[in-house]
Chains A and B, each alone.
Chain A
């Protein structure tokens, strides 16, 4: 069965304390892995798409990496405004409809 697991469930950081969020997946065929940010009461906001192992993408304090088994979202020197829930999702090969399968998310709190 295809699975997406995110860890830890919650993470509390001090402002400036860098860390990484993990998304591990066991799927039959990966077409893409997506990272989203979700603020309370809002829809997910797109961050990155990664397609192949070894790929990396960066945006401001965030950097996403991908291996054959997992993806990391690295947060460098986070600020309180980075507090949010970070979701990863996988897009699988095949099927009539290309649909995303989400992990449960990681709730990040950054203290000033």
Chain B
């Protein structure tokens, strides 16, 4: 079945530094990938949609300069949290879409900013 690999699973960084999270589709090509953020005991909130070879589409209220998304190939999308602050600490999850049906999620990245 479709597998999405997300890396790293956990990261701790100092306030003011940047962190990159990778999302790879291992056995299929993903023209569209989605990035979500999840707070404790809350549901997934869509942050942005990335399409291969074009700019990401950000949801309302998400700062595009803080959360940089790059989808340079059909198998890799990256999310970079720039100048991270403690309030950016959260669980980030990517998802790869296969056309209109079939959405496979990565295992998530727990980001802690200290």
| A positions within 8 Å CB-CB of B | 31-32, 34, 36, 41-46, 49, 87, 91, 96-105, 107
Among A46, A97, A102, contact of B57 (Cβ-Cβ < 8 Å): A97
Known: A32-B101, A99-B34, A100-B103. A44 touches B44 (CB 8 A): yes
Residues of B near A36 (CB, < 8 A) are 105
- Asked if A46 and B104 sit within 8 Å, CB to CB, the answer is yes
Complex CA gap A102/B42 in Å reads 10
What is the number of contacts between chain A and chain B, taking CB atoms within 8 Å? 55
B103–A46 CB distance below 8 A = yes
10 chain-A/chain-B pairs, Cβ below 8 angstroms:
A42-B108, A43-B107, A43-B108, A45-B105, A91-B100, A91-B101, A98-B99, A98-B100, A99-B49, A100-B34
| With A87-B44, A96-B57, A103-B43: A34-B105 Cβ-Cβ less than 8 Å | no
Residues of A within 8 A of B110 (CB): 41
* Distance A103 CA – B108 CA, assembled complex (angstroms): 18
Assess the B105–A43 pair: CB atoms within 8 A. Answer: yes
How far in angstroms is the closest Cβ of chain A from B34? 6
Chain A residues closer than 8 Å to B100, beta-carbon distance: 31-32, 91, 98
